[in-house]
Amino acid sequence: MSAVTTRNLPKNSSRKPGLTPNGRKRNSLSKGHLPRWATPGIAAGSLILGAAASTLGGFSVVTFAIFTAIIFVVASAIITTVVEGSRRGKNALATHLVYAAFLLALIPLVSVLFTVLQKGLPGINMHFLFHSMNGVTGAIDNASVENGTPVLGGAYHAVVGTLLITMWSTLISVPVGMLTAIYLVEYGKNGPLARAITFFVDVMTGIPSIVAGLFATALFAVIMGPTARMGIVAAVALSVLMIPTVVRSTEEMLKIVPNELREAAYALGVRKWRTIAKVVIPTAISGIASGVTLAIARVIGETAPILVTAGLANNINVNVFGNWMATLPTFIYYQILTPTSPTNVDPSIQRAWAAALLLILMVMVLNLGARLVASLFAPKKGR
């Protein structure tokens, strides 16, 4: 019918076929559809009903959101079922549930980011970034509260400690983890040793971080005596946590390198280890790099293993092989738990939030760095 309609209108050749003179689509294949404004309409209705329902038990934003979401999901599913049929009804239900799950998962993230930004930003300044807590006492905090002067003392020592300890643990765990993964994928071939390693790596993944810290403490206590507290001990503890992650991600990345590339290299008379070093790893390096970065991000926020291995320092210590060290998580922990001035806790809390913001920023920079590394190393495409 629509074909006839268009043929009767030869002058309007620019009009798309299947459109009636007033421009509306009349297609027998697309009938029984909800109009475009249906979803926003149902959403608006749900908002009103949700507001009404939430006032019954005393209005709050949380109940308002929950009621609105439930009403919207149920109503749109029912209306779609009635108008468009049960398949589309189920589709609408599933779609909206997926969106709801996504929003639910987003809430903690947004909330954390918002809170940390709100409470941490006031504490971030050049003084905070480039000064340690050395010499900052309760009296100084009291004075800054009473006189309204800026809070003194910063997290420079903790930032240095975090970077150094994380760097050393990365230096330890990346070679160990990568070589283990290379053995598992390229040489082990699912033999007894490879299976045993895989099993123990899985067990290691589940080690609580405090146990890793105690392990490192005990290890160094055996070597250097019971009072060994320094950055390298913490780095060993963190590498215990990092190694299984690095092994796992590297293993997965090496596994997805096509066998054809290995065979192509062998067929050119290239030795196995050269094939691995120059063909397999370069092909997988972007995935490996992002896996390593995620492993770093995972351990950079550890608190417990640092406390039992590196102790806590208020001064700047750049030597991981001697004396106590602070990291951002332990700095935050102590600022909150034992404020520098027990009577005026606000400066300490401000420093803790600022340090938390700093930590999040560091992890974010790491993640961005991983993306950059991944795209730099990724196999080149295009002509």
Site residues for other proteins per CB under 8 A: 189, 258, 260-271, 274-275, 278-279, 282-283, 379-383
User: What's the burial of 355, exposed, middle or buried (CB within 10 Å: 0-12/13-18/19+)?
Assistant: buried
The number of beta carbons lying within 10 Å of the beta carbon of residue 288 is: 24
φ/ψ (deg, to 5) at 326: -110, 155
For other proteins, the closer of residues 32 and 269 by Cβ is 269
Pairwise CA distance, residues 346 & 336, whole Å: 10
For other proteins, the closer of residues 90 and 272 by Cβ is 272
Task: Give the Å distances, CA to CA, from 44 to 47, 185, 292.
Answer: 5, 55, 46
Pairwise CA distance, residues 139 & 131, whole Å: 18
Q: Rounded to the nearest whole angstrom, what is the least distance from the CB of residue 200 to other proteins in the complex?
A: 23
- Which residues neighbour 144 within 8 Å (Cβ) at sequence distance 6 or greater? 150, 151, 152, 347
For other proteins, the closer of residues 177 and 188 by Cβ is 188
Instruction: At 339, list the tokens.
Output: 């404020």
Q: Rounded to the nearest whole angstrom, what is the least distance from the CB of residue 255 to other proteins in the complex?
A: 15
For other proteins, the closer of residues 9 and 264 by Cβ is 264
For other proteins, the closer of residues 170 and 283 by Cβ is 283
Spell out the alpha helix ranges (H) of the chain: 2-7, 38-56, 61-84, 86-120, 126-130, 138-147, 156-182, 192-205, 209-224, 231-255, 259-267, 272-275, 281-300, 304-309, 328-337, 346-377
Instruction: At 59, list the tokens.
Output: 């209005």
For other proteins, the closer of residues 52 and 264 by Cβ is 264
Q: Rounded to the nearest whole angstrom, what is the least distance from the CB of residue 367 to other proteins in the complex?
A: 24
Q: Rounded to the nearest whole angstrom, what is the least distance from the CB of residue 368 to other proteins in the complex?
A: 23
Q: Rounded to the nearest whole angstrom, what is the least distance from the CB of residue 185 to other proteins in the complex?
A: 13
Q: Rounded to the nearest whole angstrom, what is the least distance from the CB of residue 376 to other proteins in the complex?
A: 12
